[in-house]
Amino acid sequence: MPELPEVETVRRALAPVAEGAVIVRACVNRPDLRWPLPVGMAVRLAGVRVLALRRRSKYLLADLSSGETLLVHLGMSGRILVSGDPLGRFVHEHPAPERHDHVVLDMDSGARITFNDPRRFGAMDLIPTGATDAHWLLARLGPEPLGNAFSEAGLIAALRGRRTTVKAALLDQRTVAGLGNIYVCEALFRAGVSPKRRCDRVSARRIAGLVPAIRAVLHDAIDAGGSSLRDYRQADGELGYFQHSFDVYGREGAPCRREGCAGTVARIVQSARSSFYCPRCQR
C-alpha cells in the first residue's frame, strides 16, 4: 500500500494541474470502491473549482469551491494518472479508457485526471471542508512526521511506558501518521534501533533519535519519487526509485550497509508483517 512519500509525490505532481482548475466533467463509472461512493458524486464535482490540494497521512484532500473536500485513498492498487496537460508536464494524449478507470475528471485546461484501481481497495468521499479533521478516517490520526507537531518530546511521551515493540508503535497511525512497513524498517535502521525492542526498553535519547531518522527517510523517498513495489506509479505513469536505496527492506541475507558493520540483514515476522533489520548494529 502506498505510504506517505508515494502519496506526497502524487500530490505534488497533481497540484499544478488541479489547483485553480475547474472540473468541467466528472465521470463516475461504478457505485463503489472499497466502500460506496458519495451519492450524486458526479453532479457534485462537475463545475466546481479545485482550490487547494492537501495531504493528510496517506490521504489526498482536494478542497473545492462548493465547500466540500474530495478525500482520496489509493488503497493497494489505486493509481491517479494525468494526461493531456497543455503546459507540457504530462505531454501524452488521453489514453483509451481502461476497464478499471473508475473516476475520470476532465479539467477546463484540457487535462484529464483518472483514478484507476484494479483491486478496488481505494476509497473516495465528499465531506464538508470545515469538518475534514472529524472524518472517521482522519479523526484519530497522529501528527504529520514532516510537520512541526512531530517532535522529539512528543514521540518520547507517546512511547513512554508502552510494552509493545517500537516497530508496532510506529506503525500505529495514532502515534505518527503516514508511516507504513517500508519506511518504519528503514527509519529504525538509520536510528540503530531493533524492531524487536519494546518501547519501555528504549531510552529517551534513542527515541528522540528516531525523529530525524524518520524525517530523513521520508524526504529521501519523496525526492526519489517514492518506492515502486507492485502497483505504485507516479501521476505521469513513471516508477518511483527509492526502492533502489533501501538499506534493509527486502534485503534479507545481504550485507549490512552501515560503514564498519559486518552484519547481515535478517527478516522476522511481526504481527503478520515482515521486518528487515541488522541484528548486529540495531539494538
The residues that are catalytic are 2-3, 58, 273
Collapse the DSSP code of 66 into the 3-class scheme (helix H, G, I; strand E, B; otherwise coil) and give the result.
coil
Yes or no: say if 264 and 255 are a contact pair by the CB < 8 Å rule: yes
Residue 219 is inside which H or E element, if any?
helix 204-223
Q: Cα–Cα distance between 3 and 59 in angstroms, integer?
A: 9
Among the listed residues 28, 186, 184, the one whose alpha carbon sits nearest the alpha carbon of residue 113: 28
